[in-house]
Structure 1
Amino acid sequence: MSRAFLEQEINDLARDTKLDINFYSLDGKLDLTTRPLVYEYGLLSNFINPEAYHRIIEEKENEALLSESLGSLHYKTAYMSIKGHDSKPIGVIGIPFFDAKPTLDRQVTDVVASILSVFAWLFLILLILSYFASNILTHPLRLVAQKLKKTNLDKLNERLEWNSDDEIGILMREYNKMLKKLEESKVALSMSEKQTAWREMAKQVAHEIKNPLTPMKLSIQQLQRTIVVDNPKTKERIARALNSLTEQIDNISEIANSFSEFAKMPVPRNEVFDLVPLIQKSADLYAEDERISLNAYIKEKEAWVVGDRQFMSRVITNLIINGIQSVPKEKRAIINLRLYRNEDDNIAIIEIQDNGSGIPENIRQRVFIPNFTTKVGGSGLG
């Protein structure tokens, strides 16, 4: 093996492996090196490590790994015996290298520290973001909680508006539905309280009404039996008036009894009756009143209908009274009462017209509300 060939092989190997390679002769002297400047400046000895010389050349070992140093720089060197074609040693190769474990440990420590630092910053950032996010998410919940605390039956509660279709929007819609039901419950409770008050008042009114009715009716019936009039027309008028009074007393008595029965109007009883005599009797009540001009226009001889005769009589009487009360005191009340039939629909039509002031435009939508009245002494029960 020529020196030039050996030197070429060592240089190629050092270039490929990126390692420093030293070749020592069998007498332990440095023969070739890929780092000649280190030895030219005397930083390292030109002779092999004595222990390596002892173990490889003298003890005939094939290799040895020894720790060496250059000043404060510590490293390891691997020594191997080089043999020729005849298996005889021709020299020793020394390859110095740094132990990678401390460096690797240090690098691992640096990486772990960097990761921990990154995670610490991420945790801090996420903590801040979660704080603001929780505030944003819990704000509508706190708003609902505040509204629930302020919810009261005595005042109008405000609705909550939320434009998103998320879970908060569902919660807001349910809250608004609850408010709507609450308002309905308030109205129902108010109506119930009013009805209870009316019932109590109606029981008292019924008691006061029923007391004088019985003696009034008995007196009229006794008068009917005892009165004697020679004039047939006068007798007919008195009899007609007394009959009407008796019938009206019966109606008032039934209303009083209905008030007594849980203070409500009686249940209608369907029966077949003729409207003509019923309307005529209602008109006869005011026939002798000079302050009223009641004109009955009845085109039909009879008009049979199905319904409650007493209810219908009360309705007509109440409308006539309302018409009279709507006329100013300085004017004479003119009441036109009409009854006719609609042949196409086979129905009877009753019209009651007065010359009063009428119902003002602003309260026309309220006239059918229970207990509503414009009269100072009215109850709104009609």
Structure 2
Amino acid sequence: MNLVNPSAEELLGLKGDDLIGTQLADAVPEFGPQLKRARKPARRPGTDQITLRRRGSERNFAVRVTSEGDGQGYVVTFDDITELVIAQRSTAWADVARRIAHEIKNPLTPIQLSAERIRRKYGKVITEDREIFEQCTDTIVRQVSDIGRMVDEFSAFARMPKPVMELHDVREIVREAVFLFQVSRPDIDFTLDLPDKPVKTMSDQRLLTQAVTNLVKNASEGIDTAIENDPDRAGTGEITAKVAAKGDRVHITIIDNGCGLPKEDRDRLIEPYMTTRVKGTGLGLAIVQRITEQHGGKLRLPMLRSAAAKWRGHRC
């Protein structure tokens, strides 16, 4: 490698001094297949999409390798298309959500009403296997309700409303979201780390509260999973909600001591229906991501085991 520009250093997470004089395929093994194909005679330059894991995050790159002169050297250019890929996936999932709402939700109501009517009309008449009858009808009603809830969440994701921006104190938004869990989850120790002075920003209070609520919910579920794996940890759950103003930006950080997020494919957790939990719909972080983007911010899932996410928004 003869030349590395500052942008390449930043994107690759490597220093130019460590790259100069080395083989690119050794320094960045992910580029190896592209370089190998570029050496083939009469091969036309093409663009490939590859994934690099750097600094605890996964980024998508569009990579193009072209030969220089008579094959004496090569020029490698690459662009970070992570946000584009995420946007494409989000759009595709929004279309899937609309189809689900249309195809599945309509027959759910008559199924549930029919099961309830059967139970009311024949519940007193049936004497043989009465317990099985009650169990089956209850199962139908309960499962239909669960499916309906899942469809409602997908539908809500598909038609996420546009934010109505007004001046709000971010501290109060975070305090309100955490308070709901403080009341319902006395087994978890909640801590608020908030500035003394108001942190006002142009935001949609309802959407931003929903985003923080989803993050706290995700953190509490992480604690529940940790306790399931190790019952001795019961009663030791801790969640901290922190707000910090840095320049013209506002950081909201939710920290927990639960099971943590997986190391592999962690950036895909913000995609709809990507979940590590058996009963999860995989929409919590996807909704947070959408709301964060609407506020001009960025959602981060740090490698730290205790960190859930970080939101950044424009500050007034």
TM-score, scaled relative to structure 2? 0.42
| Larger RCO of the pair (alpha carbons < 8 Å, separation 6+) | 2
TM-score, scaled relative to structure 1? 0.35
Higher helix proportion: 1
